[in-house]
Amino acid sequence: MSLPVVLIAEELSPATVAALGPDFEIRHCDGADRAALLAAVADADALLVRSATRVDPEVLAAARRLKVVARAGVGLENVDVRAATQAGVMVVNAPTSNAVSAAEYAVALMLAAARHVAPAHAALRRGEWRAARFTGTELHGKTLGILGLGRIGVLVAQRLAPFGMQVIAHDPYVQAGRAAQLGVRLVDLDTLVAESDFMSVHLPRTPETIGLVGTAQLARAKPSLVLVNAARGGIVDETALYAALKEGRIAAAGLDVFAEEPCTDSPLLQLDNVVATPHLGASTHEAQEKAGLAVARSVRLALSGELVPDAVNVQGGVIAEDVRPGIPLTEKLGRVFTGLAGEVAQQLDVEVRGEITDYDVKVLELAALKGVFADIVEEQVSYVNAPLLAAERGTAVRLVVEPESPDHRNLITLRGTLGDGSQVSVSGTLIGINQRERLVAVNGFDVDIEPAEHLAFFTYGDRPGMVGTVGGILGDAGINIAGMQVSRQEKGGLALVALAVDTAIPADALADIQHAIDASSVRAVNLA
């Protein structure tokens, strides 16, 4: 019997190959050579890549036997996860492999920008000895602002606190008690920018975070601010940053990422007070070794039919067939929950009711946590690190299993208590032969709506004309409604409009709706 074929399309460490073991036939090709890749992948059961190999529908169509694509790194920019999912191919990466390297690099950029290392080096190479021109500033005694207190943000704070820095942070998904344990004071975004002498960005790139630090925020900054972004491009508005640096409204910047990459022509690269590098945060031997070993383990699990904790789409392994369809639904419920809450819960209950409770449903708790944190942390969320992320943010998690389900064959509910004592809940089920996903309750209101890519929820006082008002504002904004549910608990009481729309609703349209219907709550959720 022939061995499963593992195709390695880019250079990986010998330790990675050794970790695969003798149970596979190892083949190699140049993933950047398109013709060679398409020919080689035809017989592959697993494909291992880094960043140079593009795994798109053409590659997946050519890979008749492919079961898993593994990227030895954190991001998945070169892998079409949606196409892989449609093809039934598992996608895995190494979500925590570069955390230390990325944190250290943020510190390196901060020091280099504060001490003018790059322009001083360039001047010396030109034969100029001009020490006085490059007088810098110390980190000691200064205030460090961390934008995004996830795993990497915490590592940066831990490394810079011994420099004698006072650390503040902005992250609405971290409990104040957890931040206090780290010696970090939580503040709002405006305060973070205004008080920081040094500021480091550690957020994921999402529709909500793109352009988060722009002209209005930089106008509040000290002229001495040194801003570092080694997370994701686009979170800092590059046009606004250029103007602030050019006009001396902030002192310097250290950049490892850009909105569009590769980037070689940004005007930021012409400024002497900018230290810029080509996305090197994860480029250490140690990070690459960790990534290679992690994906080798995942490939072994995937090809042996075991649960793969670092899978970002489909799951394999010892999960009951009746439970598996609930995994993607539960992840979506987690993302909806976070969108509704707008903050991290202190207590989160994952309630599973119905026939599937005859099986082990622990994986649904993990799926819920994976969804809850997917859009709010910088690192890739997996079944391994999701419980750790909850613990780091002070979220207590409980799996509640109840065989009785009066209204649905199976029902999954996420119910959380927020910092002010209020509760947020969302329920979902699968219906029909095709197991179609439905949201069936939101914050106690009964609904029946598909969890589409773009959702919105408005809570307001029940009275005539409100639905037409909402529809009119969305129509003026060019937003097409794909589905709508109106629910109320009693006549004249609170009502909920739940919407599925074709495209994301602009912030100004949401604000107009809130004002027009006097909504007590307006929430948009992006599941794209």
DSSP string, 350-394: EEEEEGGGGS--HHHHHHHHHHHHHTTSSSPP-TTTHHHHHHHTT
Read off the tokens for 3.
Answer: 């061995």
Give the active site residue among 279, 297, 393, 523.
279
What would the DSSP string read from start to end of 236-301?
B-HHHHHHHHHTTSS-EEEES--SSSS-S--GGGG-TTEEE-SS-TT-SHHHHHHHHHHHHHHHHH
The residue to which tokens 């480091």 are assigned: 200
- Among this protein's residues, is 463 annotated catalytic? no
In SS3 terms, 484-496 reads as EEEEECCCCCEEE
CB 405 within 8 A of CB 413: no
Rounded distance, CA 202 to CA 199, Å?
A: 10
By CB neighbour count within 10 A (0-12 exposed, 13-18 middle, 19+ buried), where does 305 fall? exposed
Strand order through the sheet with 143-147: 185-186, 166-170, 143-147, 198-201, 226-229, 252-255, 274-276
Residue-by-residue DSSP string for 383-444: TTTHHHHHHHTT-EEEEEEES--SSSSEEEEEEEE-TTS-EEEEEEEEETTTTEEEEEEETT
Separation CA 160–CA 199 (nearest Å): 12
Phi-psi region of 501 (alpha: psi -120 to 50; beta: other; left: phi over 0): beta
State how far the Cα of 105 lies from the Cα of 119, in Å rounded to an integer.
Answer: 18
Contacts of 512 (CB under 8 A, 6+ apart): 473
Please give the Cα distance from 215 to 298 (Å, whole number).
43
How far is it, in rounded angstroms, from Cα 81 to Cα 494? 40
Give the Cα separation of 5 and 63 in Å (integer): 12
Choose the catalytic residue: 138, 261, 286, 306.
261
DSSP string for 441-452:
EETTEEEEE---
Whether 515 is a known active-site residue: answer no
Q: Which of 50, 170, 232, 393 is catalytic?
A: 232
CB 91 within 8 A of CB 79: yes
The reply to whether 208 belongs to the active site is: no
DSSP 341: H
- Catalytic site residues? 232, 261, 279
